[in-house]
A and B are shown apart, each in its own frame.
Chain A
Amino acid sequence: MLKIIQYLLLSTVIIIAADKPTLTIYTYDAFASSWGPAPKIKKAFEKEHNCNIKFVGISSSIGALRKIQLEGKRTKADILLGLDTSIAQVAKKTGLFIPHELNTSKLDLPAPYNDDTFTPFDYSFFAFVYDENKLKKVPDSFEALASMSKEFKIVIQDPRSSTAGLGLLLWVKSVYGDKAGEYWKRLAPHILTITKGWSEAYGLFLKGEADMVLSYTTSPAYHMVEENKTNIKAAPFKEGHYGQIEVAAILKSSKKQALAKAFLAFMHTKTFADIIPTANWAYPVVKGAKLHKAFDSLHRPEKMILMDGVTVEAQRKAIVDEWLEAIVK
């Protein structure tokens, strides 16, 4: 019996051919999953560089960073992929990463981002998503959001465990500055619940529990492309939209730094950019990449609000505390 079980357990391990170098990339699970962008990227890059890529999907991008920190110098990761700019500074401070030495000035980004260590591969904008069959009066600003009727409810993510949740806090902070706490007090009655991660929040929204959920301007594209549904929409906000630029960096401890650099450069090619939109449901960072026609109907904010990483890192704790203070009764 034990033998059979052992065999079954072992059979779940993919045996990797030993003659080619293997590049190990830690990322969040949705990116690494079989329906995410990972399999297509793997195929394209492996063909170009005669190597193996191993994506290791971890429950969240912060989780992936923590895993690397726990593993320390012994980590098998060559690249960490999927942090956003708000949290990248935390990673940089660990000193576990090396500069990428790429020229990123030609990238197509709606907000300037120049970091010598982390380099972007896609981006999207935070937005409140709703079902137009159910919500008739759609708020067009934070002010309108807070002054909706008493029954109107939103669901958001906890900034202490989710990058989306943190993004919303930074968005409100950028718009309201010193008055952010006061705004949160006004918004609090409309918050149905605060979830650990994006998944639970979006699940509640799709079940009809909340009128709006904090997600991305690109979320509706999924429902259009994969489910042929056009009723899921993102609400444009007058104040502009906070951005999430997803980035990647090379580990100092990596023994395949040349290959890892080649991969970061590959993230800025058209091949990579073509895969991103309908697999990771975000915008690519390369000009002229082909976008699925569903993206044409999305609201694309002209300007991206983005606080720089150093400021975020310096103020994160204070911003989160201010938020806690405001919504805890």
Chain B
Amino acid sequence: MVGSYSEVTMLKGIARFRSAVLPGTFISFSLLAFAFLLFFTLYTSQDGSLFSELDNRIYGLLKFTLYQAFLSTILSLLVGVLLAWALAHQSHFRGRGLLVALFSSSLVLPTLIVVFGLIGIFGRSGYLNQLSMFLFDTSFGAYLYGLGGILLAHVYLNASFASRALLHSFESIPKEKYKLAKSLNFSVLERFLFVEYPALKSTLLSIGSTIFLLCFTSFAVVLLLGGSPNYNTLEVAIYEAVKLDFDIGMALKLALIQLSISAVLVVLSSSFRTGLANLKTSHTLIPWKEPKVLRVVQWFIIGLFTLFFVLPLIVIFLDGIGADFGCILKEPLFIKSLITSLSLATVSSILTVIIALLLSNARRNFTLPTRLANRPFAKVLDAIIAFSGNLYLAIPSLVLGLGFFLMYQKYDGSEIVWATAALLTANILMSLPFALSVLTPAMHKTAQRYDKLAFSLGLSKVQRWFYVEYPYLKSSLGYIFALAFCFSLGDLGIIALFGSDEFSTLPWYLYQLMGSYRTTDAAGVALVLLVLVLGVFMVIPRLLKEK
């Protein structure tokens, strides 16, 4: 079989890969160069306070930031593993696919809206306290504010996202292993330790580091639920340096501290191997049922988490439904913001998909032994590409925005053009790490599986794409598109410096309504945004589902 294709085809193949890695490598170096330019722009626009002393408060903040990110990550993974475990063993119930898709939307839900939803349930006068007042005549009080609230919100946002990736790892375990475990009479714990845990390990590491980064740079959640400056993060200090003290040097220094700590984790999270692979949920059944006690436990976990996840969304829905939609939808600024948001989201998600494809393609060429893995520098280049794609998880969006703004000042141009470019770039950069984590393993697999066949058939690039790659990657691409689209829809970071009446997005408009007593309208707009995000996130991947 191996001898059936000659040295010549092999060499031809390699020549083809060599040109195929060019776009990906180029983009990767541009990403790094851009990050450098960003920090350089900031560096040149400050006045030497870069080397001024950090006060003790900053060390305190750093300590708390690491502490809460660590706790949030551990808790999110714990809940994520439990949920994925329960879902993996209850693999055939009605609406399971929908539930899994809903859980994974947590990543793209606009944070500020979610936090207000959580407050509606768990807040001081939330439904939980109201219920307890009604039943037992006591209230749990303001338990939500403080470290507890931060952890709760972070688990809400990240555990569900983790569970989806972990669920895939559970499902990739060969059923034979389960059979073996049963014949050896393993207990649940033994089964988990010897059969399931080895399959989860690499996902736990990569997902864990991503979650850590997300919590490390968390801003809106920490400010609203933290309760006091005790519970602030480094990102808040950056905000303070930029906004109130106008100390760009300080902001830059804090951003560099944050970046250097995150860099280690970025390297970890770039090493997605089996990662999220393709996101289809397999329906192969294990031919026996779980013991009854376990089934009850699993159902309890699924039920409890579904309640935890869905109730805050219902609160947002109930809050918003009373708004006067006839009025909101007719408001010219709303229409303008909606159009801007949708156009930006469309363009940035298309670009994200293209860039992710090019980067993943370059990576698989550098890592597969049948391709360029044995060439000099292949390992280094692969690492660089992986790093560049994930780098922007570690750069605070405020710093990104500031950098853009300073560049706009330096290099002339119309504000609208710059604002558009800034928002597009920022959205692409933010979606890229997640897009790559989905696409890279999937593309790796198609190459592993079909390379020999494709070369022996002598398929052209176009043919190969249509007959081999596209059908296999379709669902991943749909997922990435939806992800980037929703990220872009919900973003409130970069727009803060560029937003104006002439250039407004939906979240920006929502924030403006909140800032001028218009809470009912704001709740209505929040509902529109939520429906939009959930709609896109649930529908688009389904349209492109593998048959």
- CB distance A204 to B516 under 8 Å? no
- CB distance B511 to A193 under 8 Å? no
- 8 Å CB contacts to B: which residues of A29-83? 29-30, 32-36, 55-60, 62-63, 66-67, 69-72, 74
Q: What number of A residues sit within 8 Å (CB to CB) of B?
A: 66
- CB distance A160 to B244 under 8 Å? yes
Measured CB to CB, the nearest residue on chain B to A210 is: B124
Q: Return B463 CB to nearest CB of chain A, in Å.
A: 25
- 8 Å CB contacts to B: which residues of A76-130? none
- CB distance A153 to B333 under 8 Å? no
- CB distance A9 to B119 under 8 Å? no
Contacts of A74 in B (CB 8 A): 409
A207 to B129 Cα, complex, angstroms? 14
A12/B244 contact (C-beta < 8 A), A153-B142, A203-B514 known: no
Q: Return A212 CB to nearest CB of chain B, in Å.
A: 13
- CB distance A161 to B500 under 8 Å? no
Looking at A2, A209, A219, A223, the one whose CB has the most chain B CB atoms below 10 A away is A209
Contacts of B310 in A (CB 8 A): none
A280 to B60 Cα, complex, angstroms? 40
A298 in the interface (beta carbon within 8 A): no
0/1 string, B86-125, CB within 8 A of A gives 1: 0000000000000000000000000000001001100111
- CB distance B333 to A193 under 8 Å? no
Of B223, B229, B350, the contact of A327 (CB 8 Å cutoff): B229
- CB distance B514 to A200 under 8 Å? yes
- CB distance B333 to A34 under 8 Å? yes
- CB distance B119 to A204 under 8 Å? yes
0/1 string, A189-209, CB within 8 A of B gives 1: 001111111111011101111
- CB distance A202 to B243 under 8 Å? no
A195/B228 contact (C-beta < 8 A), A9-B416, A67-B497 known: no
A153 to B405 Cα, complex, angstroms? 39
Contacts of B343 in A (CB 8 A): 5, 8-9
Contacts of B496 in A (CB 8 A): 59, 63
A70/B227 contact (C-beta < 8 A), A8-B339, A30-B512 known: no
A289 to B514 Cα, complex, angstroms? 28
Q: What number of B residues sit within 8 Å (CB to CB) of A?
A: 56
A328 in the interface (beta carbon within 8 A): yes
A13 to B514 Cα, complex, angstroms? 24
Contacts of A302 in B (CB 8 A): none
- CB distance B142 to A56 under 8 Å? no
A198 to B511 Cα, complex, angstroms? 11
A2 to B347 Cα, complex, angstroms? 8
A148 in the interface (beta carbon within 8 A): no
Of A35, A69, A72, the contact of B516 (CB 8 Å cutoff): A35
A14 in the interface (beta carbon within 8 A): yes
A13/B416 contact (C-beta < 8 A), A67-B497, A193-B227, A226-B517 known: yes
- 8 Å CB contacts to A: which residues of B393-409? 405-406, 409
A118 to B501 Cα, complex, angstroms? 25
- CB distance B124 to A71 under 8 Å? no
Contacts of A188 in B (CB 8 A): 228
Contacts of A72 in B (CB 8 A): 409
B175 in the interface (beta carbon within 8 A): no
A151 to B502 Cα, complex, angstroms? 45
B259 in the interface (beta carbon within 8 A): no
- CB distance A55 to B501 under 8 Å? yes
Contacts of B516 in A (CB 8 A): 29-30, 33, 35-36
Q: Return B126 CB to nearest CB of chain A, in Å.
A: 8
- CB distance B409 to A30 under 8 Å? no
Contacts of B514 in A (CB 8 A): 199-200, 202-203
A324 to B229 Cα, complex, angstroms? 7
Contacts of A70 in B (CB 8 A): 405-406, 409
- CB distance A328 to B228 under 8 Å? yes
Measured CB to CB, the nearest residue on chain B to A8 is: B343
- CB distance B420 to A9 under 8 Å? yes
B57 in the interface (beta carbon within 8 A): yes
Measured CB to CB, the nearest residue on chain B to A207 is: B119
- CB distance A329 to B230 under 8 Å? yes
A62 to B501 Cα, complex, angstroms? 17
Contacts of A281 in B (CB 8 A): 517
A222 in the interface (beta carbon within 8 A): yes
- CB distance A66 to B243 under 8 Å? yes
B242 in the interface (beta carbon within 8 A): yes
A9 to B505 Cα, complex, angstroms? 11
Q: Return A57 CB to nearest CB of chain B, in Å.
A: 5
- CB distance B515 to A29 under 8 Å? yes
A194/B228 contact (C-beta < 8 A), A9-B340, A29-B515, A59-B511 known: yes
B499 in the interface (beta carbon within 8 A): yes
B225 in the interface (beta carbon within 8 A): yes
Please, could you name 10 A-B residue pairs with CB atoms under 8 Å apart, sorted by A?
Answer: A11-B339, A63-B496, A158-B229, A161-B239, A192-B145, A193-B224, A193-B226, A203-B519, A206-B519, A208-B123
6 cross-chain pairs, A with B, having the tightest CB-CB distances, nearest first: A208-B125, A30-B516, A199-B514, A199-B515, A193-B227, A160-B240
Given contacts A10-B416, A35-B516, A57-B512, list 11 more A-B pairs with CB under 8 A: A5-B347, A12-B336, A12-B340, A14-B502, A34-B333, A66-B242, A67-B405, A193-B224, A203-B522, A207-B120, A327-B229
